[in-house]
A and B are shown apart, each in its own frame.
Chain A
Amino acid sequence: MSFETPDDRRYLESHEWALETDGVVRVGISDFAQDELGDVVFVELPDEGDDVTQEAAFGVVESIKAVSDLYAPVSGEVVAINDDLFDAPERVNDDPFGDGWMLEIDPDDESELEDLLTADEYEDQIA
């Protein structure tokens, strides 16, 4: 099975993606991750205004069969969360790189993004 891995963003080994636009980093989980999890039924996210730390857990995604922590790609302040996921968690399965996004971070230091995997490196990891 092949998975989408858009190359406009960076990835964590723990399967989150990070997309920087105008100084804000949007975060979600990869196509591979949503497929591994199966039907997503619950997402637990921080509140807007909370601080997150690179590589620390910021929330949880649960499928019918598994519970998985979510890890922050960069440190910073949460400036938006996708609260549509509370009522429609299946968006994570349907569109993990689009409507299934989880939160947006105003990063303390954008250069942290360079610590993350490129799409090619991530594809090698999940191959």
Chain B
Amino acid sequence: MPLQTPPLRGLHDERGAKFTEFGGWDMPVEFDSIREEHVAVREAAGIFDVSHMGEIHVTGPDATTLLQRLTSNDVTQLEVGDSQYATITDEEGIIVDDTIVYRLPDEDGEETYLFVPNAGNDEAMHERWVDHRNEWDLEATVDNRTDEYAMFAVQGPEAANLVGDAVEESILDLRRFEARYVTIDGVECWAARTGYTGEDGFEFIVPWGEAETVWSTFDCQPCGLGARDTLRIEAGYLLAGQDFDYESDPRNPYEAGLGFTVKLDTEFVGRDALEQAREEGVEEKLVGFRLIDRGVPRHGYDITNTDGLVVGSVTSGTMSPTLEASIGMGYVPVEYAEPGTTLQVVVRGQSKKARVETTPFVDTV
């Protein structure tokens, strides 16, 4: 199957970006150097093309009910212009995907939402919503608009200044997880104070055909998925398909440290299983760790206890440009999950000492 391309593929190529396949998309992984891009976001600002993220639009008399039943969080808490992080779970309470749900201004007098599934999951999530709508006989229109919107993230301590200058209306009053429509160089965009780097910043959902106008408005370091990954690991954020994987590493939100997204007083697919999981407690938990010995932990490496017994595996790992230390995450039995616990990571056959740490690894907003 040919890869999907973001609208600015050509522009990024001219800028000298390197590309990688991610979720079925051909995305820029690195523009200059992952370290340079990473540092720019921690110390100034960077812009990411994240047009591979999905956009599913839901409206109609039963839109709220449909969202409520398919996401773990409580969408009835959302006023127009609010957003929330949620997981999407199956009947067993296993995470199928994670997402941000935005409540858009009402359309035709009906509550309207946009949610952002992970790259490559948009079709599956669209199908899931449509199937459940039909099964439950709800009245809601569900549109997969992934191909209609580009998405950019402007992140870093200078992001607010940059965005304040670029946006025609005032926007700096937006609090974390608030959003509204704004105009950038004549283009209407949905702007949210959200991001995946641990820094202050904004994400913009932009009409596909206007992508270049909006992208070019921001004069800051372009960043690829490489820096996005090192930044999000430092911030302790999970990557779908890696820190949880519905097929190969099924996890519930409590194991993944996402219990805060689970509102058991709402009715949703997986709720009963999750209530039971909470009552019984989980056997394994996602922990952050720092390598004490030299080496770089990578996805799939074994984690052992100090006796050398394999107790888990690394889900994400990197050399942290901010900390200049090797950090990572992985699931381990709860008895090894306390910060300060000594573990080992097996790097190419050699055991390297590691210590469990609290996440985020760096200060975040």
Contact = CB atoms under 8 A, between A and B. Distances in A.
Interface of A: 1, 38-39, 41-42, 44, 60, 62-65, 67, 86, 93
B219 to A, nearest CB: 24
B348 A38 contact: no
Interface string B27-44: 001100111000000000
Contact of A65 (B226, B294, B295, B348): B226
25 contacts: A1-B16, A38-B18, A38-B30, A38-B33, A38-B34, A39-B34, A39-B35, A39-B321, A41-B296, A41-B319, A42-B319, A60-B348, A62-B319, A64-B34, A64-B35, A64-B226, A64-B230, A64-B318, A64-B321, A65-B29, A65-B34, A65-B226, A67-B296, A67-B298, A86-B294
A42 B294 CA distance: 8
A60 B298 CA distance: 14
Given A65-B29, A65-B34, A38 B319 contact: no
A91 to B, nearest CB: 14
Contacts of B321: 39, 64
Nearest to A93: B33
Interface in B258-308: 294-296, 298
B197 to A, nearest CB: 15
Interface residues of B, number: 17
A39 B296 contact: no
A42 B33 contact: no
- Of listed B18, B319, B321, residue having the most chain A CB within 10 A: B319
Nearest to A67: B298
A82 B264 CA distance: 58
Contacts of B319: 41-42, 62, 64
Question: Which one of A1, A38, A60, A64 has the greatest number of beta carbons of chain B within 10 Å?
Answer: A64
Q: Which of A1, A65, A86 has the most CB of B within 10 A?
A: A65
A93 B298 CA distance: 21
Contacts of A42: 294-296, 319
B318 to A, nearest CB: 6
B16 A38 contact: no
Nearest to B321: A64
B360 to A, nearest CB: 19
Contact of A38 (B226, B295, B298, B318): B226
A98 B83 CA distance: 53
A102 B321 CA distance: 23
B28 to A, nearest CB: 13
A62 B35 CA distance: 14
Contacts of B29: 65
Contacts of A60: 348
B199 to A, nearest CB: 18
Nearest to B225: A65
Contacts of A63: 34
Contacts of A86: 294
Contacts of A39: 33-35, 321
Nearest to A90: B35
Contacts of B295: 42
Contacts of A1: 16
Nearest to B33: A39
Contacts of B230: 64
B33 A62 contact: no
A68 to B, nearest CB: 12
The 4 closest A-B pairs by CB, nearest first: A41-B319, A39-B35, A64-B34, A62-B296
A1 B337 CA distance: 47
